[in-house]
Structure 1
């Protein structure tokens, strides 16, 4: 099991890194070369840099994932591609993407896009809060404990 983060703009990178360190779980962060860093990270963290482009990170993540990985992304399209694999996919809010929910999410995204093209205003995502981070961490801890029988 590894954590794989769709790294461009993820608000939970630091929390996932902390979980990885505490529970000895590798962390892979896939991000655009625009976000290159010289910061030195521990060996359990791997950065994969991809070219600029709206789907470069998504395609690389699909290629890189391994069975039982936990992927964190806010991209519904990427989530839909990953649901055919033996992995678990989560939004940074802690919501797990499933085959039951993904069609609704993709449809909402499409309708919002059509409304914006028609010149209508749509609401953006709500602000990400400390409470949201706590929910996310709780969800990840539940998974880690169940995998390690640490109940």
Structure 2
């Protein structure tokens, strides 16, 4: 599993699922981030500073037997192209069918913000999102392991 770790609110849930299945987790960021100690399957990866460096690191490695956790839509698109399962932190899976509209929505939001319009942004992260994420992650892991 690969975690786009900056601003990821579900790292503990990822660790829990990884322990249950005995899976390696790469927690990728461009700054030091705490991870559980003494667990060889949970690895911290610190990449150089810069735009998309962490995304590039993940996209270059993710493949059909992997699960990627990210809210970054362009990264999700890149990982889907390599065959990985991709889930957002609120438990919404990115799929070949949904990524086009997600990319378009992102572009529209960027355009509106560049025109000075205030967009609402995402809803606050809650317990229902955490639950939905755990269910989606479990489903994605099972699917990836079958490949």
TM-score, normalised with respect to structure 2: 0.89
Residue 12 of structure 2 aligns to a residue whose secondary structure is helix
Take 1:148 and 1:65, find their aligned partners in 2: how far apart are those partners? 14
User: Are positions 1:97 and 2:91 aligned together?
Assistant: no
String of CA shifts for 1:110-131, please: whole Å, max 9, x gaps: 1111111111110111001011
Residue 107 of structure 1 aligns to a residue whose secondary structure is helix
Q: Any gaps of 5 or more consecutive residues in structure 1?
A: none
User: Are positions 1:68 and 2:65 aligned together?
Assistant: yes
Change in 2 beyond 3 A, CA 1:142/1:84: closer
Change in 2 beyond 3 A, CA 1:146/1:58: closer
Residue 112 of structure 1 aligns to a residue whose secondary structure is helix
Q: Any gaps of 5 or more consecutive residues in structure 2?
A: none
Q: How many residues align?
A: 146
In terms of Rg, which structure is larger?
Answer: 1
Contact 1:8 1:35 survives alignment (8 Å): no
User: Are positions 1:11 and 2:9 aligned together?
Assistant: yes
Take 1:64 and 1:144, find their aligned partners in 2: how far apart are those partners? 17
Contact 1:28 1:45 survives alignment (8 Å): yes
User: Are positions 1:28 and 2:51 aligned together?
Assistant: no
